[in-house]
């Protein structure tokens, strides 16, 4: 008998956690990697650019922000104000200069 030794072709790259934000009917859900990237804030600011259909999410103070409840942000009024009716899971891009996430819908 002759055996051939298995040799993996590559060791594989270290995977970066994916920044995923879920938009549901009444809330925005942040995955653990998203919360870690934003350094576990207690309050977030939501903004929307209508031309590019992009949501900006960034940490803020209690006076100006929406509280995070575990991993959710209540967003029903935000959706209504900007007529957002697209729901699902979206990848987010992180901008380190602004400490903000951008979610393209």
Q: pLDDT digits over 11-32, tens only?
A: 666 667 789 999 999 999 999 9
What's the mean pLDDT in 75-82? 95
**Does residue 5 belong to any structural domain of this protein?**
no
Host domain of residue 70: 20-104
**Does residue 62 belong to any structural domain of this protein?**
yes
**Does residue 29 belong to any structural domain of this protein?**
yes
Cα distances from 100 to residues 14, 37, 41, 59, in angstroms, run: 24, 9, 12, 7
Indicate the pLDDT class of residue 3, thresholds 50, 70 and 90. confident
What's the mean pLDDT in 41-63? 93
User: What pLDDT was estimated at residue 63?
Assistant: 86
**Does residue 8 belong to any structural domain of this protein?**
no
**Does residue 87 belong to any structural domain of this protein?**
yes
**Does residue 11 belong to any structural domain of this protein?**
no
**Does residue 70 belong to any structural domain of this protein?**
yes
User: What pLDDT was estimated at residue 2?
Assistant: 78
Report the domain count for the chain: 1
Q: Please count the helices (runs of H) and the strands (runs of E) in the chain.
A: 2, 8
* pTM over cut 0.75: yes
Residues in the chain: 105
**Does residue 65 belong to any structural domain of this protein?**
yes
């Amino acid at each position: 008998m002759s055996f051939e030794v298995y040799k993996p072709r590559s060791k594989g790259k270290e995977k970066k956690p994916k920044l995923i934000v879920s938009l549901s009917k009444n809330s925005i859900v942040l995955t653990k990697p998203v919360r870690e990237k934003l350094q576990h804030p207690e309050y977030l600011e939501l903004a929307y650019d209508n031309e590019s259909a992009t949501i900006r999410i960034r940490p803020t103070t209690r006076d100006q922000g929406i509280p995070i409840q575990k991993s959710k942000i209540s967003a029903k009024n935000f959706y209504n104000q900007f007529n957002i009716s697209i729901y699902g899971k979206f990848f987010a891009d992180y901008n380190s200069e602004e400490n903000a996430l951008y979610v393209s819908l």
